[in-house]
Amino acid sequence: MFVYEVPADATDDLKKKIADLVSQQRTRSEDDGSYQKVLSGISLAIQKDSNSGVIIAEEAGEVHGIAFYNLGISLPLGGPYLWLNELFVRENSRNKGIARKILLHLIHWAEREGIKSIELETGINNSVTKHLYNSLDFHDIVSQRYQFNF
């Protein structure tokens, strides 16, 4: 299993494989995002000067897992933080440590880059991901997330 950040010059085939996996997750959660929007988002995220990135776990030409993140600036922390928007592993690839490998890759990269914090959101009843995050020393923050769409 090879875990790496998707480069700006990724092939269209790789971007489509990533979009296929993300679309599976989005369909599962009943999000109305279209495939083309997902594909466009991936292309924007991996651009050279983007404050976003995509990390994948790949083996034998198949994408088994993905993490999508954005970087921001935290005033209280006095520096950059990483917001983990998506972490998803293909259903038939779960319980093999893939999400952990992706997160560890992200944690080590963020530490080398001087990132002050990694933040994310997960469902209240998602005990599997909570266990994973807690096992890697993430801790709960009491918060309420809001959204405004155009």
Cα-based torsion angle of the residue sequence 147, 87, 65, 4 in order, rounded to the nearest 10 degrees: 100
Residue whose token pair is 């809001």: 146
pLDDT over 70 at 26, yes or no: no
Cα–Cα distances (Å) from 12 to 26, 92, 129, in that order, read 20, 24, 30
Separation CA 93–CA 42 (nearest Å): 22
pLDDT over 60 at 31, yes or no: no
Best CA proximity match to 105, nearest among 82, 122, 127, 124: 82
Q: Which of 23-32, 83-92, 110-119 has the lowest mean pLDDT?
A: 23-32
Residues 6+ apart with CB under 8 A from 111: none
Separation CA 8–CA 4 (nearest Å): 12
Extract the tokens encoding 144. 């309420």
Best CA proximity match to 101, nearest among 57, 58, 54: 57
Q: What's the whole-number average pLDDT of the chain? A: 90
pLDDT over 80 at 41, yes or no: yes
Q: What is the pLDDT of residues 64-97, one digit of tens each?
A: 999 999 999 999 999 999 999 999 999 999 999 9
0.75 exceeded by pTM: yes
Which residues face 5 on adjacent strands? Answer: 55
Strands (E) in 1-150, as ranges, are 2-5, 52-59, 62-74, 79-89, 117-120
